[in-house]
Amino acid sequence: PYFPYDYLIRAKIRENTYHFTNEWAGMPVKLGKLARYFGKLELVEKELQFFIDEEVPQVKFVDRTFNCNHKHAIAIWKYIKEHDKGITNFHFEVAADLLNEEELKLIESMRPGLIQLEIGVQSTNEQTIREIRRTMRFEEVARIVQRINQGENVHQHLDLIAGLPYEGMESFQKSFDDVYRLHPEQLQLGFLKVLKGSYMESQKERYGLVYKSRPPYEVLYTNWLSYEEMMRLKSVEEMVEVYYNSGQFSYCLRKLEEEYASPFVLYQELGRYYGNHELHLMSHSRITRYEILLGFVREKHKERERLYRELLTFDLYFRENVKNRPEFAGEHEVSKDWLNAFYETESKEHQYLIGYEAYDKRQLRKMTHIEKFHYDVLGTCEEKEKFILFDYQNRSRLTHQAAVTEIETE
């Protein structure tokens, strides 16, 4: 349902992000079926221009279905595209299955990183979707998400909710795997919150909802999910947040998924590993997370430790040009003489580092990294010697990952 109250748009700074938000100042809100729109489009454009001119890093539209009015959505998207200065990112919550062809083509024409989309899937169980009074068509959502993915210019954030009616462990696992296989940039696993005055609260006896008596009123167990299962899902949530949503382990995870019956099983096993070794009881540095994942591999897939060590090394340099080489990566096998010869030649010919003509060989070396691998980490993962160049000046504007090139060797 939509909220039948006027939008009060206020700019708020939270971690360098401005939020377009709707507030009711603590007053009771009656749910209804109508939506009201804030002011005239001219006023919206004026405020958008302020954010663009001030080069605000991110502006979030906190609206559950931004695109429920196609004309309104297109007008705003056209405005931010036409007035874009290459800095500000705009975040929208949309119903993917409502996006029409005109909207999709407009999205595909935007610069990488101009907008990001949050899509609330919640569940792929049809009975669950009907029970919570939604009309989401997952097949259409999947088609739209995959099409947007092909453009490689929009960050997509897909949401699931645990604790919904008729969704037990087996059903939730299927929902998780369905959404995971769409490869969104982020997969948010949330937990049902039984808010006062909501439909879920009115059905708590029928659904067997037991939830916290204080905010955020999060569900503890239901007729379909036990407390123990809910705790397992909490563990899966943590592993997804640390390893998938961070974007730091993409190549390693892609290969690890092949070792398990489904992606859900992989994250469940990772959570169990954390629990068995009491790793969830302490905070960990970014590098320690790589070491823990390698420890998981040693315990579960010892025979392929060398491959996964190289995949983790690739993932590390794919994200950043680390100067202090971590222990898990082993010795750097590219000799100084080879590196000197490569950068000497590259400073003159620029075969791989196009656009670096103003830099000398010493500067080129600082802005890039070369790693020797014994496996085809970019492809089949079969044993094959490869030299990979990581270019940190030409990062993806969407993922911020380095540009990578295989160096041809005799």
Phi-psi domain of 355 (left: phi exceeds 0; alpha: psi -120 through 50; beta: other): left
Whether 28 shows a pLDDT value over 60: the answer reads no
Q: How far apart are CA 315 and CA 247, in angstroms?
A: 9
Radius of gyration of the chain (CA): 24
Amino acid 38: pLDDT: 56
DSSP 8-state secondary structure symbol assigned to residue 241: I
Pairing of strands 89-94, 58-61: parallel
Give DSSP secondary structure letters for 1-24. -B--S-------BSSSEEEE----
Helix (H, G, I), strand (E, B) or coil at 354: coil
Q: How far apart are CA 328 and CA 310, in angstroms?
A: 9
The residue among 74 and 2 whose pLDDT is bigger is 74
Q: How far apart are CA 213 and CA 196, in angstroms?
A: 10
The string of pLDDT tens digits covering residues 348-389 is 999 999 989 999 999 999 999 999 999 999 999 999 999 999
What stretches of 166-285 show up as alpha helix (H) in DSSP?
169-180, 199-202, 204-207, 227-239, 250-256, 263-276
Estimate to the nearest angstrom the gap between the alpha carbon of 308 and the chain centroid: 22
Amino acid 323: pLDDT: 87
The answer to whether residues 115 and 91 touch, using CB atoms and an 8 Å cutoff, is yes
Of the pLDDT bands very low, low, confident and very high (cuts 50, 70, 90), residue 7 is very low
Whether 245 shows a pLDDT value over 70: the answer reads yes
Q: How far apart are CA 244 and CA 182, in angstroms?
A: 13
Pairing of strands 89-94, 115-122: parallel
The string of pLDDT tens digits covering residues 58-97 is 999 988 789 988 999 999 999 999 999 999 999 999 999 9
Instruction: Report, as an integer, the average pLDDT of 251-274.
Output: 98
Q: Dihedral of CA 178/184/186/192: which sign?
A: negative
Q: How far apart are CA 323 and CA 35, in angstroms?
A: 53
Of the pLDDT bands very low, low, confident and very high (cuts 50, 70, 90), residue 26 is very low
